[in-house]
Structure 1
Amino acid sequence: MKTTREQAKETVHKDLVNNLQGLLEKNYDAEKGFTKAMEDAKDSNLKRFLKEQARKRNKFATELDREIRSLNEKPKEDGSTTGDLHRTWIDVKTAFTGKDDEAVLEECIRGEKASLEEYEETLKENRFPPNLESILTSQLSEIKSTVAKVKNLEDLAEKDN
């Protein structure tokens, strides 16, 4: 029979892993979303930007994967059903809007805002070891930067139309 302390330690470990798994899944979704958006985008500069964002999210996923493995757990290997549904919605929306860059950017902003909220909530509601908190805070900072850049690109796309 486990002591209260052992149970508490096990619960903390499980919560930590679950939080990391959730963020890992979100990054898989974001990487696929940026890749999909890149395929739909018309402007070559926008395509490069979206490709870079997909690459960043792959890097985030790799970092989280490594941290989960360091906790002797098996990382998730794919994104969520919600992410799949979002990409399907992008397909439907862009089919009706003619796959214009503004529509692509709108969906990128929506996806990034969801990532931003999940990271902020996860960091606010949980305590992480300092090295892990540093990784997550750095990723959050890059996501905030991406949201600002995508909003700026969307504003430029609106002016061009």
Structure 2
Amino acid sequence: MNNEKTVSVLNDLLNITNDRIEGFSKVEDKVWDTHSTLKADYDQMVSQSQTMKSDLIRLINECGGNADNTTSTAGALHRAWIDVKNSLSGDKDESTLGNVVFGEKAAIDAYQDALDSGDLTPQSAQVVSDHLHHLKSSYARFENLDELN
């Protein structure tokens, strides 16, 4: 197993996880006035993201790599687009939570691609698989927002 490939894949996931954390910071507290039942799930997602970040940094270090503890360019562009879209949207609560769902789906796809790449060590693959399970679980709680209203 090539550690450079493993480190590269893990750094990509670290960037995605940092995108997730950055995106969560954009959710405004007033959203929870309308969707109070989701607040505890959301708080768990934020906490879980920090744990995932720590796990990825640890794995990168164990493989002899240096963690690229930044966000991705695509994530930055997406957040800028969200800011523009939200400034024009009439229903910012629904738009904001819709963006959470979009971000969770993008993270799921990235984690699945990482597992499918074959570039992870067995230990890394297990951690990434556990992260993917958590991502799918949080996505499932938010994907049907229309049914909650």
TM-score, with length taken from structure 1: 0.81
Greater helix content: 1
Cα deviation, 1:19-77, whole Å, max 9, x if unaligned, reads 0000010000001111212x265224245433332221111011000111112221012
Provide closer, same or farther for how the CA distance between residues 41 and 51 of structure 1 changes in structure 2, counting only shifts above 3 A: farther
Structure with max Cα Rg: 1
Q: Which of residues 84, 88, 104 is equivalent to 1:92?
A: 84
Q: Which of residues 39, 51, 54 is equivalent to 2:46?
A: 54
Cα deviation, 1:96-153, whole Å, max 9, x if unaligned, reads 124532111211111111111111111012143322211111100011111111113x
- Partner amino acid for 1:155? D
Unpaired runs of 5+ residues, structure 2, are: none
Q: For residue 19 of structure 1, what is the aligned residue in structure 2?
A: 9
Q: For residue 120 of structure 1, what is the aligned residue in structure 2?
A: 112
Q: For residue 147 of structure 1, what is the aligned residue in structure 2?
A: 139
Measure the CA separation in 2 of the matches of 1:99 and 1:148.
22
| Larger RCO, structure (CA 8 Å, separation 6 or more) | 2
Matched, 1:42 2:31: yes
- Percent identity over paired residues: 29
How big is the alpha-carbon RMSD for the aligned residues of Structure 1 and Structure 2?
Answer: 1.9
CA contact 1:116–1:140 (8 Å) conserved in 2: yes
Unpaired runs of 5+ residues, structure 1, are: 1-8
CA contact 2:9–2:119 (8 Å) conserved in 1: no
